[in-house]
Amino acid sequence: MHTWRRAAAAVTVATAVVVPLAVSASASGPAPTANLQRDLDSIVSAGLPSAQTEIRDGRSVWRAGSGTVKAGGSRPVDPTGAFRAGSVTKTFVATVIMQLVAEHRLRLDDPIDRWLPGLLPDEGKIKVRELLNHTSGLYNLTDALPLNPPIDFLPLRWKTWTTNGLVKFAIAHGSVFEPGTAYHYSDTDYLVLGLLINRVTGRSYSQEISDRILRPLGLRHTEMPGTDPHIPGSHAHGYLPDGKGG
């Protein structure tokens, strides 16, 4: 069964990300302005354990960072450390959907009810393209999660939800608008697309992403971790504010 972790924050990307307290550049081009380092240092000075960025212009790659792997620690962030890609995963999901359209296995104007009957209470109104561009009107499930303050989510951080369960959870909150009439960013849209990929191909969306995108492009340090909450290798630790300034 698919899980929310796989649908909403599934791709772990290990790329060169941070050089603490310094700016690095490839040999093919000069380093960017020192303002970049200054800005990252100011973010850390404001209270965050670390900040990092990467700039590419098609020829050169510049990476800079500030801070440490752990709050209060002394070990600088690894420039080749991994991180959760989060909603960048949606780009991978959308690419697989568009490939299936190009293969004539799916149409952008197909109603979701054709492939996943009974999943959405929309009488076949919501189409594939409306999930892709966030015009389906489906309620964004993360809006109902205890995230304000973010620390309220900690008791649920090890919980695994099924995709079907999360879609039902979102549907219970009703639609935001009629499909195709407005725009509303919704993680629910891409949960449904993940289920759609599975129905059309008979394989999980994570398998399709790996075979269609990650391997052909040689993204050897990008993976679909599924329900594994750990990030392999070196990485900066993430934190949630406690709502009290801590």
Please give the positions annotated as active site. 87
- Report how far Cα 25 is from the mean position of its chain's Cα atoms: 27
Q: What is the mean pLDDT of residues 18-26?
A: 35
pTM for the structure as a whole: 0.80
Q: How does pLDDT run across 77-97, given as a tens digit for each residue?
A: 887 778 888 899 999 999 999
- Looking at residue 3, its pLDDT comes to 36
Q: How does pLDDT run across 146-189, given as a tens digit for each residue?
A: 877 778 888 888 888 899 999 999 999 999 999 999 999 999 99
83 - beta bridge partners?
Answer: 13
Q: Can you give the three-state secondary structure of 169-196, one letter per residue? A: HHHCCCCCCCCCCCCCCCHHHHHHHHHH
Residue 94 identity: A
Find the radius of gyration of the CA atoms of the chain.
20
Q: How does pLDDT run across 90-148, given as a tens digit for each residue?
A: 999 999 999 999 999 999 999 999 999 999 987 789 999 999 999 999 999 989 888 77
How many DSSP H helices and E strands does the chain contain? 8, 6
Residue 30 has pLDDT above 70, yes or no: no
Residue 216 has pLDDT above 90, yes or no: yes
- Looking at residue 32, its pLDDT comes to 64
